[in-house]
Amino acid sequence: MPVSAKQRKLLIATLILLAIAISRMLLLNRLEMNHDEVWHVWQTSGSFDDAMRWLPYDWPPLYFVILWGWQKLVGMHPIMMRLLSVLIFMLASSLTYRLGRRMFHNENAAWGLTLAYANLGYTIFLSTYVRAYVLMLLLLPLALYLALRYFDRPSPLRAVLLALAMAAMFYTNLTAVVAFAAIGAVTLAFYPRNIWRWWLPGMLALVFALPEILSKVELAGRRNAGLGNVLPLLPQGLIDIVLTHLGHAAPVLLILGVCSIAYALWRRQNLKMGLILILWLLVIPVLLYALDSVIGFFTPQYAWWITLCLAMALAWGFGYLPKLVSVILGVLLIVIMLIPMSKGDQPFEELKYGIPTLPFEQTFPVVADAWQDGDVILIDPECDCGDHYVWDYFQEVYFEYPPHHISQPDDSRRIWYVHRPDANDVALESTLEETHLRSKYIGPWQLFFQLYEAPPDPIGIAFENGLRFHGLEVLDQNDAPMVQPLVYREGETVNVRLWWSLDQTIDADYSITLQLLNEHGLIAQSDGAPQTISLYVGSDAPPSGTSQWQTGQSYVEQRALTLPYPTNRAEYILYLGVYQWWDGVRLTAEGTNADDLLPLLPVAIMAW
């Protein structure tokens, strides 16, 4: 059955939009939210009234309203927050096709505009960025499309729709005023004799945006107080903006853009685009440069509006190429779009977009997975470990209950010490190591979590030879603690961690026995010298001979008891004994039974 033109168009649209979605989706769990993104989410986490009351003074409310509603639907996990940006950009990608059809009157050029818009490094970043700029990537092509429709066939309804789109831009970001100039430049190039028709949508947009305009009257003075940055020379500033927005494949995209413009000019196709590029890429930036001391918008971050024009330059000659060549270029653009996925753990690190951040998303899920009831966090006072609101946000995301923080080492059994190695409070760390053993660590140096553990039983039980038993932990196969009741299947292994210290030095090496038995006899045991381990990965294990142990130090050993297979269903008691290996005599302690064995806890074995 032959494929119709409509079906072919639908297939192309599906493949292109799918490629755009994949290029973003595969980045969602590889990024770190920076402080600005966290602030946006954190300040919209309360009620709607709270979100509006906490609105930053220099931000309009529209994006925050959308973000607040999205949070209430899906929660506040970073991936779900980025997904909102991806979905907004998918709408923007569809709109660029409609815009390209109306601007170029060419199907291939329309697809070229969609691919080019999705390809630029800055749009890839913004379409995964939890800030209002992604909404502007949607509203700008929408407003430009509605402007072209209005000027083609003016009507009051089309004027109202255009005015609403422009007002929405202003309610999203104040840099919309620059985008308005860009839209005006396009209509000036395409409809020079009808430019006066802007009076109706312009007046309506002014009326719609007036409340926000009045609320921002004082903003100019507040912004001026913080301005005064030294600007680069104009040519260098323009180059920096263009290269930043082209992003990871700037050389390739520059070559494609120059070739596209040259080919369109050679074919004398849609020559008004040349005037648009001059006005949009040169005249408007020059005006912004001249006014930077007043509005401060001449930066790559605020120049998001230039991305659509760069995409137009790439797409201009796309539609007039031979079909095979346009297909090859389309595939090339898709490949370029996927490149940021392979740029290491931080895909945008080399693009220098956004504000540097600490690896909270990399670290907190691992810490939360290792967290146990009763754990606490101790942040070194010398550690620059992020703002309080950032901690508050990520703790709410990754922890079921907010973790308790302490300012000094205390009697908590497990303390997560957050610091930067070789740049911490040495006295604080020394105090911590007096009572706790260094254990596992999580995170890179910028946000380093070091676990310190104390014995389960600080007082312990003294044996007659000076050994003191400080309790045990029963561990699962992943070394996570298990809680009672302890139930095992036949053939499984019981992993036990024992804690010891010395009341006095010992001149002999003693052995330990761990037995699982009931009134019917013994089912499993582990005998021999202490099987000492180091809780700190990479450190050598302490000596196993008790004659080499030192007072004032904790020792940890780990043993495994393998249950027989098959066996019968029964309940057992885990016993501990200390004995002299040379004659088998067991030592006594408070609580030992007639066989000089110390009962620890019950263990049930299930079998058919």
Are 252 and 370 within one domain? no
Per-residue pLDDT band for 344 (boundaries 50, 70, 90) equals very low
From 208, 195, 313, select the one nearest 265 (Cα to Cα).
313
Highest mean pLDDT: which range of 49-53, 70-74, 387-391: 70-74
Bond prior to 409 in cis (omega within 30° of 0): no
In this predicted model, which residue has the larger pLDDT, 371 or 342?
371
Are 317 and 466 within one domain? no
Domain membership of residue 407 as a residue range? 360-451
Query: Averaged over 584-598, what is the pLDDT?
Result: 96
Q: Which residues pair with 516 in a beta bridge?
A: 524, 574
Query: How many domains does the chain divide into?
Result: 3
Note the pLDDT tens digit of each residue in 8-20: 888 888 999 999 9
Which residue bears the tokens 């927005």? Answer: 245
Q: Examine residue 365 and state whether it is found in any structural domain, yes or no.
A: yes
pLDDT of residue 218: 61
Query: Averaged over 147-162, what is the pLDDT?
Result: 96
Beta strands in 185-317 (DSSP E): none
Are 445 and 571 within one domain? no
Are 367 and 339 within one domain? no
- Spatial distance between the Cα atoms of 187 and 191, rounded to a whole number of angstroms: 5
User: Pick from 451, 482, 514: which residue ends a domain?
Assistant: 451
Per-residue pLDDT band for 40 (boundaries 50, 70, 90) equals very high
Query: Averaged over 437-447, what is the pLDDT?
Result: 92
Are 163 and 291 within one domain? yes
How many residues appear in the chain? 608
Are 346 and 366 within one domain? no
- Answer whether residue 343 shows pLDDT above 60: no
- Please tell me the pTM assigned to this model: 0.87
Query: Averaged over 539-558, what is the pLDDT?
Result: 93
Note the pLDDT tens digit of each residue in 283-321: 999 998 888 877 778 888 889 999 999 999 999 988 888
- Spatial distance between the Cα atoms of 457 and 470, rounded to a whole number of angstroms: 5
- Spatial distance between the Cα atoms of 526 and 72, rounded to a whole number of angstroms: 54
- Answer whether residue 229 shows pLDDT above 80: no
* Percent of the chain predicted with pLDDT > 90: 67
Q: Examine residue 228 and state whether it is found in any structural domain, yes or no.
A: no
CB-based contact 491:564 (threshold 8 Å): yes
Other C-beta atoms closer than 10 Å to the C-beta of 585 total 9
Are 284 and 419 within one domain? no
Q: Examine residue 240 and state whether it is found in any structural domain, yes or no.
A: yes
Query: Averaged over 59-83, what is the pLDDT?
Result: 95
pLDDT of residue 422: 80
pLDDT of residue 347: 54
- Amino acid identity of 395? Q
Query: Averaged over 472-497, what is the pLDDT?
Result: 91
- Answer whether residue 342 shows pLDDT above 50: no
pLDDT of residue 4: 79
From 600, 603, 593, select the one nearest 572 (Cα to Cα).
603
45-59 burial: b if 16+ Cβ within 10 Å, else e: beeeeebeeebeeeb
